[in-house]
Amino acid sequence: METKTDERTAVIEVRRLALADIKPHPKNPRKHPEENSAAWLVLKKSLERDYFDPLVVNRRNGMLVSGHLRHKILLASGFTHADVSLVDYDEATHVARLIAANSLIGEFDDATLTALAAELNAASLSASLAGWTEDELAALVDGLPPAADGEEKPVRDLKEKFGVAPFSILRVFQWLGRKKLWNTLIGDGGETRAGCLPKEGQFQMALPAVSLLDPVLCELMLLWFGMPHGVKPRCLDPFAGGAAFGFVSAFKGCEFTGVELRQEQCDLNGQRLAAAGLSGRYICDDGCNVLRHVAPESQDFLFSCPPYYNLEKYSNLPNDASNAPTFEEFIVVLDKALGDAALTLKENRFAVVVVSNVRDKKTGGYHDLAGAVVKIFQRRGLLFYNDLILADCLSSASRRAYQYMSNSRKVARVHQNVLVFYKGDVKKIAELFPVADIEETLTACVPENETWLGTGELHA
């Protein structure tokens, strides 16, 4: 008697091919880093260790679907053959899967990507083949048409000058490749806070166990608001947490000071900086004591991402702000720490605070954390200058959104607030923060360091 089985096997066809016979696809939308740049050397080092992510080649044309940069690096490293995954695609499907293969890593060339989106749309293929939603495909087709010869390219020009277009909504998916590179360099896995986000069934259900500050956001805020002309910037974070901002600011040549309550986190952050040949100062203390360590009017940039009240428990220490019994008591702590940190700013300088409103665990209503932070800085005489939204990747939001709407008509929060403040005379901003400085810093390198990955280059 025949027995039925539930077995279902995912199959790939593997073939060993000469690398010289494999051709790149001319429509590949990914922009590759320069040879021997940090991004190049990170991948080169990985490939020298092991080759676990095979090239994908279309048997119909002998061209790559995935692995254009790996193919280039393998050839440059002296490899002659590689085991590849063979697929069988017509041209339209090949283009769609080419886009999907580059969606989570790398940096797209906008004009090429827009043209490919138009091809995919014209072929009436599902947007999911390229890893997009239908709305994302429509936005690409309609929102950024390829520029004609001699035509102005405003959005792309903005990206070249500022890293990303400086609009009030910053979308994380624009910089996933750069974020991956930064995270590789920093190596922060949130080890000292493992398991401290709420468990399943609570507000952050199905998200990773530890939240990590986005290093590309740190980089952009530093470049846009933290590097006044002609000085080596002094940067302060009174709620330092992980290594992201300290690492990025030190990498960019700033003098960093961070106040962090947990000794183990201070030690780990210091080790990460030292391993990269970078320097910074981590002070183990309560952020409310910032003026004991940092003089008034001594800092060029204030950046912080304080606890989002009790959404995430950072420690069991009684003076940890995330352990405050009530939201009102939490704001008292924030008022002291952020308010005193604002006093350390020099005249004509910016402060940036990343926050998110959080729900009360009993009532389900929102605590206005963003509004409270604005009032803290306004009481110290700073202008509320820019109001940005950081739109996170959707990740598990679809699953959470269904449950939230079904059970309580709550919508899934997929953004954070990036609040920018200014201390001083706004008429001096153009003089003290020239646009040319941002362009120069975007392509700047740090000195070569043999203990680190390559030359330390990280280009926009």
**335-364: per-residue pLDDT in tens?**
999 999 999 999 999 999 999 999 999 999
Lowest mean pLDDT among 33-37, 275-279, 301-305: 33-37
Q: Quote the pLDDT of residue 48.
A: 80
What confidence score (pLDDT) does residue 316 get? 83
The number of angstroms, rounded, from the C-alpha of 258 to the middle of its chain's C-alpha atoms is 20
pLDDT of residue 113: 62
Quote the distance between the C-alpha of residue 286 and its chain's center: 27
Cα Dmax for the chain? 86
What string of DSSP letters covers 251-296?
Answer: HTT-EEEEEES-HHHHHHHHHHHHHTT---EEEES-GGGGGGTS-T
Fold of the domain spanning 169-442: Rossmann fold (3.40.50)
Q: What is the mean pLDDT of residues 437-454?
A: 43
Chain-wide mean pLDDT for the chain? 81
**In this model, does residue 451 exceed pLDDT 50?**
no
DSSP state of 148: P
Beta strands of 165-219 (E only): which ranges?
169-171
H or E element at residue 23: none
DSSP string spanning 384-443?
EEEEEEEE---TTHHHHHHHHHHHH-PPPP-EEEEEEEEES-GGGHHHHS-HHHHHHHHT
pLDDT value of position 140: 60
Of 153 and 230, more confident: 230
* 206, pLDDT greater than 50: no
Which two tokens mark 61?
A: 């044309």
> Does residue 1 carry a pLDDT above 80?
no
Q: Could you tell me the residue ranges of all domains in the chain?
A: 13-146, 169-442
The helix/strand/coil state of 348 is strand
Helix axes 369-379, 327-343, angle to 10 degrees: 40
Tokens of residue 352, six digits = 């940036």
Question: Average pLDDT, stretch 214-226?
Answer: 95
- The band of 272, judged by pLDDT with boundaries at 50, 70 and 90, is very high
Most confident of 30-39, 83-92, 96-105, 374-383: 374-383
Model pLDDT for residues 415-443, shown as the tens digit of each residue: 999 999 999 999 999 999 988 777 666 65
- The reported pLDDT for the residue numbered 163 is 85
Residue 365: what residue type? G
CATH class held by domain 13-146: alpha beta
DSSP three-state, residue 356: coil
Task: Identify the pLDDT of residue 460.
Answer: 29
Q: How far apart are the first and last CA of the chain?
A: 64
- Which residue did the predictor score with more confidence, 337 or 312? 337
| Its pTM surpasses 0.85 | no
CA distance 400 to 158: 35
> Under a CB-based contact definition with an 8 Å cutoff, are residues 429 and 21 in contact?
no
More confident residue, 366 or 196: 366
Element (H, E) at 457: none
pLDDT of residue 322: 85
Mean pLDDT of 44-54: 80
Which pLDDT score, from 0 to 100, does residue 103 have? 53
Q: Select the highest-mean-pLDDT range: 174-183, 316-325, 395-404, 425-434.
A: 425-434
Query: Beta-carbon neighbour count of residue 169 at 10 Å?
Result: 10
Question: Which position has the higher pLDDT, 156 or 9?
Answer: 9
The DSSP H or E segment spanning 29 is none
Which residues have a Cβ under 8 Å from the Cβ of 178 and sit 6 or more positions away?
107, 216, 458, 460
pLDDT of 328 strictly over 60? yes
Q: Tell me the C-alpha distance between 383 and 422, whole Å.
A: 5
Instruction: Describe the crossing of helices 134-143 and 110-122 by its angle, rounded to 10 degrees.
Output: 120
What is the reported pLDDT for 176?
A: 77
